[in-house]
Structure 1
Amino acid sequence: MAAAALEQSKETIASRVVDALRDDIITMALKPGDVISESDIAGRYGVSRQPVREAFIRLAQQGLLLIRPKRATVVKKISPVGVRQSRFIRESIEVEIIRRVAGQPSDDAADVLARLIADQEAASDANDSRRFHTLDELFHRTLARLAGVEYAWQLIDDHKMQLDRVRYLTLGVSSTQRAIAEHKLIVEAVAKADPAAAETAMRAHLARAELLLNQTITDFPDYFE
């Protein structure tokens, strides 16, 4: 029993390091090309090197780190191919999600989504990019929950990290306001029980990823493969 608890504790610590390190990479606290070491990251998060080593392996498998044996570990540069594949996966799933939500509308769903948009507006007004990013994620995850397919969001989340890095680079007041306007169009279509309009609004919303990618490649060429 004690051994099992110890193993679970080690796994929990490693998972926390994975989450924290992934968040630092996505939010550009650690930038593409940055060199990191197990000892530095262990000190950063106040843990031993073993869970950091495990976290490095997992994040390398997710395409966020490049581990070079006997040399430094590097934060991988953003892959344009990976971004486009992330967008394809996300759009394919989210279009079906929003059609299902709009096809089975409820006042509760519209109210929940409207409150989330109000919170997004507050974050945008405060120019709080991190808060807005969290609320944006919650909006889309809530759509999956309302559709009764929460696992579908997990599939999206597992494959959209490259896309998230691009999105975070472009977050600003004008960008967040545009996203909010697009979210409102999605919610309006849901409130009207119009799956076709909801699909159109969602596709337009997600299509902006290509524009963001081209913009960030121009603005931050050193961050890309």
Structure 2
Amino acid sequence: MQPTLAHERRTTVDEIFDHLYGEISSLRLRPGDRISEAEIAAQFGVSRQPVRDAFTRLANLDLLLIRPQRATEVKRFSSREIEKSRFVRAAVEAEVLRRAARLCDADGAGRLESCLVEQRKVIADGDFSAFGTLDYAFHKTLCDIAGVDFAFEVISSEKAKVDRLCTLGLSKEDRMPQLLEDHEVIAAAISAGDEEAAVKAGMLHLSRLDSTIEAISKSNANYFDPEDR
């Protein structure tokens, strides 16, 4: 896709991608659901090409399974891909946390506290989707403080691959307060310049999804790739 100027309108591909990404990540479209290129094209009143391009972008995020001459479907979870994603994210985030702890100043500490204030508010409101957005913002702030804003591209890409599991975990187990507490511990360690404490808290934070994965694999085995079962 060609780069566009800031004042130009978003493309049809962007609009279709965002719509489908929202449907998939919110689980309105569930793992294994079939999705029709023709139906989406009709819904948006466009040709199939922009739909095809949006499908390709979603497939690159491991959210769609596109098979020639067969129906496209929302991709099921893969235990191997989850493990791979977690490995990559842990390696990147550990370095981000170390750098952030070394470089954090009063302004950085204030930005982290502002993130926490917003998170506390949405928890009080029980707003699951808003917390997910603020979770991304918190990790982006850590990357900014660490001076490696590009690292957030990797982190957000890996997070996107397991966001649906996070949605299930948050909505079914109401774990937002626990995740907020993790963020508070991470922010405190960063603000204090304690690299090891920051990394330890960050790795614990990443491990919170383990019990959710195990529970969902038992209660909704059909959400996982048949090869995992």
Give the TM-score taking structure 2 as reference length.
0.87
Secondary structure of 1:74's partner? Answer: strand
Alpha-carbon distance in structure 2 between the residues aligned to 1:127 and 1:41: 32
Q: Deviations over 1:53-82 (max 9, x none)?
A: 111123223322122333321111111111
- 1:113 aligns with 112
- 2:216 aligns with 216
- 1:149 aligns with 148
Within-5 A mapping of 1:1-225: 12-45=11-44, 47-172=46-171, 174-225=174-225
Secondary structure of 1:160's partner? Answer: helix
C-alpha deviation, 1:96, in angstroms? 0.7
Contact 1:166 1:212 in 2 (8 A): yes
Q: Deviations over 1:125-163 (max 9, x none)?
A: 211111110000110011111111111110222233322
Q: Deviations over 1:23-76 (max 9, x none)?
A: 321221211011111132234445442211111123223322122333321111
Alpha-carbon distance in structure 1 between the residues aligned to 2:129 and 2:99: 29
Alpha-carbon distance in structure 2 between the residues aligned to 1:73 and 1:144: 35
Contact 2:104 2:145 in 1 (8 A): no
Secondary structure of 1:109's partner? Answer: helix
Letter of the aligned partner of 1:198 in structure 2? Answer: A
Contact 1:39 1:49 in 2 (8 A): yes
Count of residue correspondences: 219
Evaluate the alpha carbon distance shift between residue 108 and residue 29 of structure 1 in structure 2; reply closer, same or farther with a 3 A threshold.
Answer: same
Secondary structure of 1:32's partner? Answer: coil
Alpha-carbon distance in structure 2 between the residues aligned to 1:144 and 1:43: 41
Alpha-carbon distance in structure 2 between the residues aligned to 1:107 and 1:47: 50
Q: After alignment, is 35-44 or 133-142 more displaced?
A: 35-44
C-alpha deviation, 1:97, in angstroms? 0.6
C-alpha deviation, 1:11, in angstroms? 8.6
Gap runs ≥5 in structure 2: none
Secondary structure of 1:150's partner? Answer: coil
C-alpha deviation, 1:83, in angstroms? 1.1
Secondary structure of 2:96's partner? Answer: helix
Contact 2:37 2:48 in 1 (8 A): yes
Letter of the aligned partner of 1:70 in structure 2? Answer: Q
Contact 2:35 2:72 in 1 (8 A): yes
Contact 1:78 1:165 in 2 (8 A): no
Sequence identity (%): 37
Q: CA RMSD in A?
A: 2.2
Alpha-carbon distance in structure 1 between the residues aligned to 2:79 and 2:15: 28
Secondary structure of 2:175's partner? Answer: helix
